[in-house]
Amino acid sequence: MNTGFIRTIGRVNFIAILIILALAVAVPYGNLVAPPTSLVYVPDYMVALLGKFLTYAMLAVSLNLVWGYGGILSLGHGAFFALGGYVMGMYLMRQIGDRGVYSNPILPDFMVFLNWKELPWFWWGFDQFWFAALMIVLVPGLLAFVFGWFAFRSRVSGVYLSIITQAMTYALLLAFFRNDMGFGGNNGLTDFKDILGFNLQSQETRATLFALSAVFLAGFLLLVAWITTSRYGKLLVATRDAESRTRFLGYRPERVKLFVWTLSAMMAGIAGALYVPQIGIINPGEFAPANSIEVVIWAAVGGRGTILGPVVGAFLVNGGKSWFTGLFPEFWLFVLGALFVLTTLYLPKGIIGTVKGFWQARNARKQSQKDADVPKDTSRPATVEAPAE
């Protein structure tokens, strides 16, 4: 691998991506091959838990792309995640075939229960994996495109946009709770049997899904690293910091945003699609606005606008949640609330951002010590605070 590539995406990021790829091999090995007495043995529940975290991390990475780099605070990214999950759920429902409670070869159980006679048109094609795979990115992508086209065109931004995205996921939550929407109402889609012919209950399939999630997460990180170092990525950050400047330079910020917004929604969709087979259920609760806001805190804790921040944040916050809800379930909301408050007040750059800041400051100090011998560049300006808005 050439060093130019490593330098472009950053050495630390590169190592992290390698670690994630190593996990894709190590965890399935530890689960399937290593004996339970071994040090590297990974119990089944741990595979499921870590697999879930990986998909959460993917969701956080996709959110970070629009929020950290594009300045678009989405409070509705859970909607894209859930849509991807529902698409996957529809495929898995069709795979059940006649093994359902009502043994109907075409109709999923809930449709039989609701006395539906035939498959609604929007369920057509989901028995084919390639079609479902396409829809996993197309459905969230299309929703994001239409929504973003309207929103960015009319220059809706800041808190307006945030609340409207929240309203979007809220509307979907209400819609998916309805039985006549044809997505299983408040029970959602569940009782999946197999995926591409592999039994979803078998540990081999689960380990494979884990590995797949890790590979996708690594791919996402590479994608984000590549995008943010491209000229487009620089323009995206420029749009975040001074949108009107880009407009007066002849750019169309609405297109810049629409691209990253749609791409991010597709990534969230993929995350959701990998989440559902590992969890075994998708229901309208995934659309709850509170879920989407929680994703924001993952990215914030880890460090928005950094490549690895959202991954670190997703693992830390969710790890903390698992641990805490096990010990003191009634206190978790206090902790989560405090996390929101403290992170925004004292750790606005997040863990990775702060560490990076220290690191750069240290390097700068070293550099200036080196420079101490040579005559100082007196033209170097004092730092001037940007005037407040």
Segment 271 to 300, residues that bind another protein, using CB under 8 A: 289-290, 293, 296-297, 300
User: Among 150, 323, 328, 359, which residue interacts with another protein (rule: CB under 8 A)?
Assistant: 150
Structure tokens at 271: 């995350």
Kindly list the distances between the CA atom of residue 278 and the CA atoms of 20, 114, 164, 207, 315, in Å, as whole numbers in the listed order. Answer: 18, 27, 31, 9, 17
**Interface stretch with another protein, choices 7-15, 83-91, 116-124, 250-258 (CB under 8 A):** 250-258
Verify binding: residue 262, another protein, rule CB under 8 A: no
What residues contact residue 275 under an 8 Å CB cut-off, 6+ apart? 52, 55, 56, 81, 85
- Taking the complex as a whole, the smallest distance from the CB of residue 223 to another protein amounts, in Å, to 11
User: Among 7, 99, 245, 366, which residue interacts with another protein (rule: CB under 8 A)?
Assistant: 245
Distance between CA atoms of 290 and 287, rounded to whole angstroms? Answer: 8
* For another protein, the closer CB: 51 or 310: 310
Task: Determine which helix (DSSP H) or strand (DSSP E) holds 323, and give its type and residue range.
Answer: helix 309-327
Sign of CA dihedral 123, 124, 130, 136: negative
User: Among 12, 21, 112, 238, which residue interacts with another protein (rule: CB under 8 A)?
Assistant: 238
User: Among 234, 362, 365, 366, which residue interacts with another protein (rule: CB under 8 A)?
Assistant: 234
Pairing mode, if any, of strands 189-190 and 194-195?
unpaired
State which of positions 191-220 bind another protein (CB under 8 A): none
C-alpha closest to that of 309 among 19, 119, 5, 64? 64
Verify binding: residue 379, another protein, rule CB under 8 A: yes
* For another protein, the closer CB: 279 or 316: 316
DSSP, collapsed to helix, strand or coil, labels residue 345 as helix
Neighbours of 131 (CB within 10 A): 16
Distance between CA atoms of 184 and 100, rounded to whole angstroms? Answer: 14
Verify binding: residue 32, another protein, rule CB under 8 A: no
DSSP, collapsed to helix, strand or coil, labels residue 282 as strand
* For another protein, the closer CB: 269 or 289: 289
- Taking the complex as a whole, the smallest distance from the CB of residue 18 to another protein amounts, in Å, to 25
**Interface stretch with another protein, choices 38-46, 122-130, 201-209, 248-256 (CB under 8 A):** 248-256
User: Among 39, 196, 374, 384, which residue interacts with another protein (rule: CB under 8 A)?
Assistant: 384
Residue 174 contacts residue 295 (beta carbons within 8 Å): no
* For another protein, the closer CB: 99 or 252: 252
What residues contact residue 113 under an 8 Å CB cut-off, 6+ apart? 102
User: Among 45, 121, 130, 248, which residue interacts with another protein (rule: CB under 8 A)?
Assistant: 248
* For another protein, the closer CB: 36 or 381: 381
Verify binding: residue 237, another protein, rule CB under 8 A: yes
State which of positions 321-360 bind another protein (CB under 8 A): 330-331, 333-334, 336-341, 343-345, 348
DSSP 75: S
User: Among 117, 231, 370, 376, which residue interacts with another protein (rule: CB under 8 A)?
Assistant: 231
Neighbours of 128 (CB within 10 A): 12
User: Among 38, 128, 154, 367, which residue interacts with another protein (rule: CB under 8 A)?
Assistant: 154
The site string for another protein over 157-176 (x = CB under 8 A, - otherwise) reads -xxx-xxx-xxx-xx--xx-
The site string for another protein over 67-106 (x = CB under 8 A, - otherwise) reads ------x-x-------------------------------
- Taking the complex as a whole, the smallest distance from the CB of residue 380 to another protein amounts, in Å, to 8
Kindly list the distances between the CA atom of residue 162 and the CA atoms of 53, 66, 68, 73, in Å, as whole numbers in the listed order. Answer: 25, 12, 14, 6
With CB under 8 A as the rule, give the number of residues binding another protein. 77
**Interface stretch with another protein, choices 89-97, 120-128, 145-153, 320-328 (CB under 8 A):** 145-153
Pairing mode, if any, of strands 194-195 and 198-199?
antiparallel
Verify binding: residue 247, another protein, rule CB under 8 A: yes
Q: At what angle do helices 203-229 and 253-279 cross, to 10 degrees?
A: 170
Verify binding: residue 156, another protein, rule CB under 8 A: yes
* For another protein, the closer CB: 218 or 300: 300
Output Rg (C-alpha) for the chain, integer angstroms: 23
